[in-house]
């Protein structure tokens, strides 16, 4: 596949002063890409406004433009008095094109109503819908017409202010529909230059309405135009703005560690902070994002989950690596309640990793301790609540990983010793003589699997 010549500035002065919403840096990039087109190449432009960019493009190929040509209040702010919002500015566009002898084919319609003849397209400029669906309305009808060397330029496609929009571009990249072209653009030029792939034509069958959720990270690298991780950070920011925390941690669980994302996240975090997401929530996520992308990986033995809540978050995320239930277990509110209740002290007192262990605790407030135990990577947890109504009923079957089951203490002690690696007796209840005797009998049982210990957790 051909690449863009980054050294070709293609400096061609406009023939007349036509207003444009692009700055000089954007126009320079447009000319740079357009100058690489074959002679007579076909250029499709969505959103030409009054034709300033169209005039530039016309010097490199045969131009088609798509627009409703309906004046907006934003247009009135830029050029007050020219038209009233809602008026058609098509006559002015036509006049300016004729004045500059520009031969352009006009498709006057909404982007969503646009239909294409299937002729090959060598370059496409999209300026600019505000949503992923709007972007797909532009691309879907023409996806199968892009040539193998076609470049698709998307205005605001690298603009960190438009979180949901660039998160949608991340989806296109992560699923392999496009690749980012490195054209050497300056940091303040927010146009995304995408090149087609063998999969691009499949976009004509993608229904963004029915398949609206962003795809999780994949093994496909998705660098932004400067080689950073703007698109990946936007994917997280978009899910956070929607309040979908389970989705956030599902995506993080699958993301290949990339230290570079932390730099992008600092900037993205500032934008989220101004959109109503609290500083505490962002601080919690930043802690987990940091430990996930820590290369080389931090060791559990270097962490004390009782030191601080953020230490507990770091410990839990590392301990749950490889656990298919990690996103579900990693519930920030539940972990916070467990930390406040000093439940992670049990994890500390176990003296080592609890991964692949079945653990049972006897005591009270077992939902909180079960949260800490499962977050530390235990295979399963069984809580036995000590109450005045304890009886000799049979202990239920082993719970699935992730469940904290509260059941009455029973005489099925053999079950406990044979099925659990650890039986912990908490000090948050009064240990009566009868129960103490039974625990002593448990300790004396031969051929038992489990160890019995007495963690100090306070009342």
Mean pLDDT, the chain cut into blocks of 10 residues (459 residues total): 47 58 91 94 96 95 96 93 94 95 95 91 92 89 94 95 90 92 92 96 76 58 90 91 89 90 90 79 94 80 89 94 93 95 90 82 87 93 69 37 40 65 78 68 61 73
Strand order, beta sheet including 62-67? 104-108, 62-67, 42-46, 121-126, 146-154, 192-196, 178-180
Q: How far apart are CA 291 and CA 323, in angstroms?
A: 16
Check residue 14 and give its pLDDT: 41
Measure Cα distances from 451 to 107, 349, 356, 363, 418 in Å: 77, 13, 15, 17, 10
Task: Provide the token pair at 324.
Answer: 């298919």
Check residue 443 and give its pLDDT: 64
Check residue 448 and give its pLDDT: 56
3-state secondary structure (DSSP) of residue 156: coil
Query: So where are the chain's domains?
Result: 1-212, 221-292, 298-459
b/e 387-412 (16+ beta carbons within 10 angstroms → b): eeebeeeebeebbebbebbeeebbee
Decide: 32 and 123 in contact? Cβ < 8 Å.
no
b/e 307-317 (16+ beta carbons within 10 angstroms → b): eebbbbbbbbb
Decide: 144 and 159 in contact? Cβ < 8 Å.
no
Q: How far apart are CA 147 and CA 120, in angstroms?
A: 6
Decide: 127 and 46 in contact? Cβ < 8 Å.
yes
Decide: 69 and 61 in contact? Cβ < 8 Å.
no
Q: How far apart are CA 238 and CA 101, in angstroms?
A: 44
Check residue 387 and give its pLDDT: 61
Q: How many CB atoms lie within 10 A of CB 440?
A: 10
Task: Provide the token pair at 361.
Answer: 């605790």
Check residue 361 and give its pLDDT: 87
Q: Which CATH number fits domain 298-459: 3.40.50, 2.60.40, 3.30.1340, 1.10.20?
A: 3.40.50
Check residue 205 and give its pLDDT: 82
Check residue 399 and give its pLDDT: 36
Check residue 421 and give its pLDDT: 79
Rounded to the nearest angstrom, the gap between the alpha carbon of residue 290 and the centroid of all alpha carbons in its chain is 15
Among candidates 107, 118, 172, which has minimal Cα distance to 141?
A: 118
Q: What is 1-212's CATH number?
A: 3.40.50.150
């Amino acid at each position: 596949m051909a690449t863009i010549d980054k050294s070709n500035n293609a400096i061609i002065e406009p023939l007349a002063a036509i207003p444009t919403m692009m700055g000089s840096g954007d126009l320079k990039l447009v000319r740079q890409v357009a100058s690489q087109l074959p002679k007579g190449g076909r250029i499709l432009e969505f959103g030409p406004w009054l034709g300033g960019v169209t005039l530039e493009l016309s010097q490199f190929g045969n131009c088609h433009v798509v627009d409703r040509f309906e004046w907006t209040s934003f247009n009135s702010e830029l050029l007050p008095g020219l038209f009233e919002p809602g008026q058609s500015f098509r006559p002015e566009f036509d006049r300016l094109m004729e004045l500059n002898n520009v031969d352009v084919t006009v498709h006057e319609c909404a982007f969503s109503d646009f239909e294409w003849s299937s002729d090959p397209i060598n370059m496409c400029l999209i300026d600019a819908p505000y949503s992923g669906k709007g972007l797909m309305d532009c691309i879907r009808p023409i996806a199968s017409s892009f040539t193998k060397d076609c470049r698709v330029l998307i205005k605001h496609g690298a603009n960190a202010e438009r979180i949901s929009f660039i998160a949608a571009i991340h989806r296109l990249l992560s699923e392999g529909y496009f690749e980012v072209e490195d054209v050497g653009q300056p940091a303040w030029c927010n146009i995304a230059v995408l090149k087609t792939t063998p999969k691009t034509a499949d976009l004509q069958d993608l229904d963004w309405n029915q398949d609206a959720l962003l795809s999780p990270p994949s093994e496909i690298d998705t660098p932004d135009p400067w080689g950073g991780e703007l698109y990946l950070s936007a994917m997280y920011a978009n899910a956070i703005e929607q309040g979908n925390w389970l989705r956030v941690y599902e995506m993080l669980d699958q993301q290949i560690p990339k230290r570079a994302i932390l730099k992008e996240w600092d900037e993205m975090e500032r934008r989220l902070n101004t959109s109503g997401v609290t500083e505490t929530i962002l601080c919690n996520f930043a802690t987990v994002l940091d430990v996930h992308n820590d290369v080389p990986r931090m060791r559990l033995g270097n962490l004390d989950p009782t030191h601080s809540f953020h230490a507990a978050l770091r410990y839990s995320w590392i301990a749950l690596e490889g656990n298919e239930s990690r996103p579900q277990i990693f519930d920030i509110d539940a972990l916070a309640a467990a930390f406040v209740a000093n439940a992670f002290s049990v994890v500390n007192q176990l003296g080592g990793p609890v991964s692949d262990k079945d653990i049972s605790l006897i005591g009270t407030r077992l939902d909180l301790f079960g949260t800490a135990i499962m977050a530390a990577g235990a295979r399963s947890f069984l809580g036995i609540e000590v109450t005045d109504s304890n009886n000799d009923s049979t202990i239920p079957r082993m719970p699935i990983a992730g469940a904290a089951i509260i059941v009455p203490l029973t005489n099925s002690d053999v079950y406990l010793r044979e099925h659990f690696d650890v039986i912990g007796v908490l000090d948050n209840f009064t240990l009566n003589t009868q129960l103490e005797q039974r625990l002593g009998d448990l300790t004396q049982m031969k051929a038992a699997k489990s160890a019995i210990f007495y963690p100090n957790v306070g009342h």
